[in-house]
Amino acid sequence: MEKYQAGNRVTGVINNITDLGIFVTLPNRHSGLVHHSDFGNNWLRERRRYHAGDEVRVVVVHIHKGRFNLSITRVNDPELVDHDNQFSKTKPADFDQVLNQTTRDAKEEIEKLKQVLTEN
């Protein structure tokens, strides 16, 4: 994924923590800021949970002039739709069925790969 857009969930690495917030390096040499306001009144307590070098799951909230506004607290926010997620358009009522089919397909593919490996 080279081009990010709002809603993308990404695992990044914390490179710095300041009074402004948590600076995170994303894949493909992008970086962004989880502003301290993301944690509301809990910022002083929450910032102690994180350290430089930690991997953290973030959601891209906004991109403006190459600057990434990230969030940790909104990673599970359904309002921020990740258009790269194959399940984004799945209705809640259909989710179990789609997930079960995806699991079956993955198991079949794994078995095929195992056979190929054992044949060689």
- Contacts of residues 18-26 at CB distance under 8 Å and 24 or more positions apart, as own/partner, are 22/47, 22/50, 22/56, 22/72, 24/56, 24/58, 24/70, 26/58, 26/68
Residue with tokens 């799951």: 57
Q: What is the pLDDT of residue 34?
A: 96
pTM for the structure as a whole: 0.67
- Report the chain's mean pLDDT, rounded to a whole number: 86
pLDDT band of 1, cuts 50, 70, 90: very low
Q: Stretch 31-54: mean pLDDT, rounded? A: 94
Cα 81 to Cα 59: distance, rounded to the nearest angstrom? 10
